[in-house]
Amino acid sequence: MSSDDDRRRLNTGSLVTAIVLIVLGGFILLLQIIGPVLDLDLGHYLWPFFVIVPGFILLVVGLTIAADGGPGLTVAGSVVTMVGVLLFFQNLTGWWATWAYAWALVAPTAPGIGLILYGAVTDQSRTISDGLRLVTIGLILFAVLGVFFELIIGISGFGLGRLGVVCGPVLLIGAGALILLRGLFRSRKV
């Protein structure tokens, strides 16, 4: 990679980071104005963004720096972002018991996503395939453990009732998405 490419990636990273911060600041300002008017306790619902935003910033910085730390920051950013997204979901739903199997989305799935993103940005097919392998393992673990804990044990109180209606289609969608991603990234290698 030439130094012009390095500068271009760094400038793109600065631009993306600046835009994210401006949009985030505007969103927070809007929420502070609208929250009291609508009588919403925004802190109750939005506290996971204190985890999501730093994770996303780490991810963007990792994708834009040209140093050897890029892959590490990208993976760390994807892990922190995934933790925040899970916390947001669990905070909204109250399904805290899903941590029994949701950890599979934090690791190995999130590092795999980070590797896929970094490999796509830097055009490294080996990194992409390593990431796809991790994502596949993580999603299989998540699905198998989710079925076990939710349908067999009933950890969240669902049993086969409510969750049984959506479990099959969600698993089919996930399997289809994995097959699609694998096909797309394999065709890029050729």
- CA–CA distance, 79 with 57 (Å, rounded to integer): 12
Q: Strand locations in 16-111, DSSP E?
A: none
pLDDT at 105: 97
pLDDT at 35: 66
CA distances (Å), 77 to each of 44, 69, 132, in order?
Answer: 24, 12, 17
Whose CA is closest to 92, among 41, 133, 131, 54?
41
Query: What residues have CB less than 8 Å from 157, skipping those under 6 apart?
Result: none
Query: For the segment 125-166, what is each residue's pLDDT rounded down to a tens digit?
Result: 999 999 999 999 999 999 989 988 887 777 887 666 555 566
Report residue 99 as tokens.
């941590």
pLDDT at 188: 64
- CA–CA distance, 187 with 181 (Å, rounded to integer): 10
What pTM does this model have?
0.68
- CA–CA distance, 128 with 176 (Å, rounded to integer): 18
Report residue 25 as tokens.
């600041």
pLDDT at 142: 95
Contact 26, 66 (CB under 8 A): no
User: Can you give the length of the chain in residues?
Assistant: 190
The domain locations on the chain are 3-189
| DSSP 8-state secondary structure symbol assigned to residue 98 | G
Q: What is the CA radius of gyration of the chain?
A: 19
- CB count in 10 Å sphere of residue 77: 25
Report residue 106 as tokens.
């934090």
- CA–CA distance, 188 with 146 (Å, rounded to integer): 32
Low-confidence ranges of the chain (pLDDT < 50): none
